[in-house]
Every structure is written in structure tokens, then in C-alpha cells.
Amino acid sequence: MKILVISLAGIGDTLLATPLIAELRANFPGARIDALTLWPGAKDLLETNPHLDTVYQKNLLHSPKAGAWRFLRELRSRRYDVSINTHPQSRIHYRFIARLIGARERLSHEYDCSGCLDHLLVNQTLPQDYARHTVEQNLDFLRCLGGKPRLAPHRTEVHPTADDERWAGDFFSAHELARFFCLGVHIGSGGTKNLALKRWPLERYRQLFQRLNREQPGIKILLFGGGAELRQHQHLCAATEPRRVVSVETGNLRQAAALLRRCQMFLSVDTALMHLAAAMHTPNQIVIEAPTLNPTNLPYGNPFTVVPNPVSHGRSLEYYRYDGHGIRGTTAELLACMQSVTVDAVWAAVTAALARRG
């Protein structure tokens, strides 16, 4: 049997597919199991996964059409028996890609935006449920293949290499982090659609860090993230105590995972780094509630605390659903939504976690 796991949505969503990948290997030990991702960061997380044979990565949505078609034609020539579009991949483009690859059995979930055309693109669908975690909804695919859950408990998997662990150890030593309580922070979020609007304001992070510098001198803050976020890291480092706020520049997400394993706390909104911290069982995980947070995408397999959002709390599905669209609301409304979470509220969550650790 040849199985292709298609995960073209966010990097965090790819991580949430890893329990299914482990179960596919447990149920079909002789199968060829490959994966297809959109983002290089998603490939980072999967290319050392022992349950996969090959990981393919290509941004098919932004590649020249000729190159994208040649790539898909190559995958089609491998004649997969099964392709699985993991949850959540609501855009119809992802099911078009599954149809072009042409596995005999093409599995997906049904989404709010699904229509008649979807049944021409995939031939087995499962209903999605906003009350159940994405990991559990992915595991539902097993019964479509005549399998069943064999592993317990399920966990999201990242496999840093020895070089990745060595890099994290060297970073820890260079910054003398063993002397401090390390608080990992990701100030960013996904940048597609309008998802940047779910970020907690940069000014609020600055105020929080300054307060931590004054009142908790034993804490060192590690800023995770890349790209444009690095410029914001520089701003925060310059506005706070530079010896206790450090920007982390990693070569890949496995290095970030290895460093997160060494942190004692992690703070973010719902992002890929949030899921990465959960996979590495970073203790004292704190999530600032954004309007995209719902039961499907909470940190999996790791205790966490949510700092409630006074505006969106309990109403997340009014703001964001898996329908291919962005967060509902104007830019001003969404900025005000995230501004409603105060520094005092996040401070209270951080200090409560510190008190639990004594």
C-alpha cells in the first residue's frame, strides 16, 4: 500500500497530523507512507519523523503553474493507493491538488464551504466537529482504511537530530541560561489571510517584559520566531533589559523544538510555536486567547492556561471557522479585540505559574 499524507495548511496543523502518521505506521507497517507539505517549516518537522519514507515540500499555491504541474505529475506517477487531506484544510484548492495526484482513495473532511464539486475531487469524507480536537478528527481516518487506534496515549511528535540538540545546548551555554528561569515567547502568528490581526499588541509585550525585568530578575525571556518578527525582537530587546531578553535565531524548527524542551514556561497566542511547545512538553504553557482559538486547536497533550479574551471569549466560531476565509471583522475591530487582553491579565497568569513552581 502507498499512502500520501497531504498537509498544506499551517505548520502547526502539520504537527497535529503526526499522531495520525504514527498510527498509519502502526496499522500498516509494510506500507510506503509519504507526506506533502506547503511550508519549509512543516518539512523541518517531518523530515526526521521515523514513520515516514519521504517528505515532499512545494508551495503549490504560489509556484509558476508549469513547475507546479511537473511536480504534481511526478507525484501522480507514484500511483498512491490512498491520499489523506488532514484536518483542517478547508480550501478547495487542497482537494484539487489531491485530485490531480490521483490516488485511488482520496480522503478529506467536509467543511463549512464544501459543495458538490468536492465530491468529484475526493471520494471519502468525514464530518468535522468544532467540539473535538484536530488530532482526534485526523485519527478518524483510520476507520476509513480498516484500521483502528493502536497507540496510547497519542502525542504530537518532533524528532530533533543530535546536531539540533547540540545547537540548543550550545545556545544555552553561550547565554548562560542555566542560571535563569527561561520564559519562551512567540509574539507572532501565521501571516496568511488576516491572521496577523490575532497577535497581542507589541506594546503590550514591551510593558510585560519591562515589568518582568523589574519584578522577576531571575527570568530570562527567549523570543522565538523568524522573518519580519526578528525586527520586532530587536525593538523589544532595545526597549527592555537586553541582558534578560534574547532573540533566538534558529536554522530550523527542530532547533527551536530542542530549545523549547529546555524552557520552563512558554507564552503565545495560538500559533505553530504554541503547538511545538506542547509537543516538547514545555511546562507552564500560557495561551493568550485570540478569536481563532477553539477546541480543535488547543495545545495537545500538555497542560496549559488560557488568558481569556474579554471580547471573543466563548464566541470564537462567530469570528473564525474553517471555511477558507479569514477572521471575521474589520481591522479596527480585531485590533480592539486583542487589545482587550490587558498586561495585568497576562501578568497574573505568569506569576501564578511562577508561584506553582515555588
Q: What is the pLDDT along the chain (358 residues), one digit of tens a residue?
A: 999 999 999 999 999 999 999 999 999 999 999 999 999 999 999 999 999 999 999 998 788 889 999 999 999 999 999 999 999 999 999 999 999 999 999 999 999 988 889 889 999 999 999 999 999 999 999 999 999 999 989 999 999 999 999 999 999 999 999 999 999 999 999 888 999 999 999 999 999 999 999 999 999 999 999 988 999 999 999 999 888 999 999 999 999 999 999 999 999 999 999 999 999 999 999 999 999 999 999 999 999 999 999 999 999 999 999 998 999 999 999 999 999 999 999 999 999 999 887 6
Residue 187 and residue 205 in contact, taking contact as beta carbons nearer than 8 Å: yes
CB-based contacts of 240: which residues, under 8 Å, 6+ apart? 206, 209, 210, 213, 221
φ/ψ bin of 324: left (φ > 0), alpha (ψ from -120 to 50), beta (otherwise)? left
Report pLDDT for 107. 98
Report pLDDT for 213. 94
- Distances from the Cα of 30 to the Cα of 24, 33, 149, 357, angstroms: 10, 9, 17, 46
Quote the CA–CA distance of 17 and 135 in Å, as a whole number. 6
Domains of the chain are: 2-144 (3.40.50.2000), 163-356 (3.40.50.2000)
pTM > 0.75: yes or no: yes
Quote the CA–CA distance of 307 and 349 in Å, as a whole number. 7
